[in-house]
Homo-oligomer: A and B are copies of this chain.
Amino acid sequence: MKTLRDIGEDALIARLLTPFPPSTLCVGPGDDCAVVDDGHGPWRLLKTDAIVEGIHFLREAPPEKVGWKACARVISDFAAMGGSAREIMITLACPPDLEIHWVEGLYQGIARCLAAHEATLAGGETTSVPDGGPIMISVAGTGQVDRRHCVLRSGGQPGDVIAVTGTLGGSIHGKHLDFQPRCAEGALLAQAGASAMMDLSDGIAKDLPRLAQASHCQFEWIPEALPVTPGCTPDQALGDGEDYELLFAISPARWHALVLKWPEELAPIHAVGRLLEGPFCESAIQGGWEHFRT
């Protein structure tokens, strides 16, 4: 009998979507967020994301940072569309023997993250898991994006420059718990005409092929151009995951204009490759994180 370990996350998702009718959304499953057009005002963004003890954080981690991370991951996905967060809902599943002060710390981190991004707590749920089970925090959020400046994964064109914000690798040493979602950067990139964008959650070795595939392009890239976090190896920059930086494509002309006006106070941007003509083919890079495979 086949298990999830045998097929991995991407193939699993493709199989799971089979019984559903074609989506009536502007953007359905497969991008960083779902996009809903109510016919007026900004487009609505929808996103859900979960973190699990033992996978995404350890019990010893400061609970404030775990709460921050849980919310910041969802807000990072809104940033990856060029948008921002509105309402956030929290589902907390934890064993009955968990200390109250841990949960209070968690919610203080959640409150801090929401305040920093002008988002509202819209509800949530607490439920128990059997004693010894892991703590799970599932965050669902709504966001919004200017309908003229919503950037998908799929809009990349052959010839576009591929670039990233910030530096990559080594997130496990701390950044994964207190990263800043790149909302200001994402909004500016959207206004500047980025053709495709996503956030880097599983490592650029895994995520760049996803962006290229969604854009029906091949790609080339220059390993030496990767902005590596100080103290990390290039391999770590490729595959550690949890960078929560933005990966984007943009035409060369727009890239050159962007570099000239990029604000100093934002995370720096670096070109790392280029989209090419031709059908996407798999396994162009080895590395990166895929759930169930590890």
Contact = CB atoms under 8 A, between A and B. Distances in A.
A101 interface: yes
A236 interface: no
A23 B121 contact: yes
Contact of A107 (B16, B52, B95, B107): B16
Q: How many copies does the complex hold?
A: 2
Interface in A13-42: 13, 15-17, 19-21, 23-25, 28-30, 33-34, 36, 38, 40-41
Interface stretch (A123-131, A149-157, A218-226): A123-131
Contact of A52 (B41, B47, B93, B122): B93
A140 B33 CA distance: 13
A99 interface: yes
Contacts of A291: 126-128
Interface band, chain A: 35 or more
A13 B136 contact: no
A214 interface: no
Interface of A: 1-7, 9, 12-13, 15-17, 19-21, 23-25, 28-30, 33-34, 36, 38, 40-41, 46-52, 54-56, 87, 89-91, 93-101, 103-104, 107-108, 111-112, 114-115, 120-130, 133-134, 136, 138, 140, 142, 291-294
